[in-house]
Amino acid sequence: MVTVEVPGDLWPRRGDWKGRIVSIAKMPGDRVFEGEPVAEVEIEKAILVIESPVTGVVEEVLARPGDPVGPGAPILRVSTVGEDQAQGQAKQAA
């Protein structure tokens, strides 16, 4: 399982910045591909796009629109393609 987070280098400013979630593009059960936009974060006067670092299925949404976020804040949990296949095979074997 991979946690999609707000990257620490998302905003070039140094220090402890805060933003807020504008939108979440994926919900639990949705398929997501590496590099696909999954959320938007508003920082001062900019809207920045957060992309998924992996391909898989969204298991849990950890942030909602309006939530305050900073560097490293968790947004989604995604099970990767390999994990999906292993879980499916384990269920079939049981």
User: Longest Cα pair distance anywhere in the chain, in angstroms?
Assistant: 53
* Phi-psi map region of 12: left, alpha, beta (phi>0 left; psi -120 to 50 alpha): alpha
* φ, ψ (nearest 5 deg) of residue 90: -65, -40
Q: If pLDDT is split at 50, 70 and 90, which confidence band does 58 have? A: very high
Instruction: Record the pTM.
Output: 0.77
Secondary element (H or E) of residue 42: strand 37-43
Domain 2-93: CATH architecture, name and number where available: Beta Barrel (2.40)
Per-residue pLDDT tens over the stretch 11-46 = 666 556 788 999 999 999 999 999 999 999 998 878
What residues does each domain of the chain span? Answer: 2-93
Q: What is each CA distance from 91 to 26, 77, 86, 87, in whole angstroms?
A: 25, 21, 9, 6
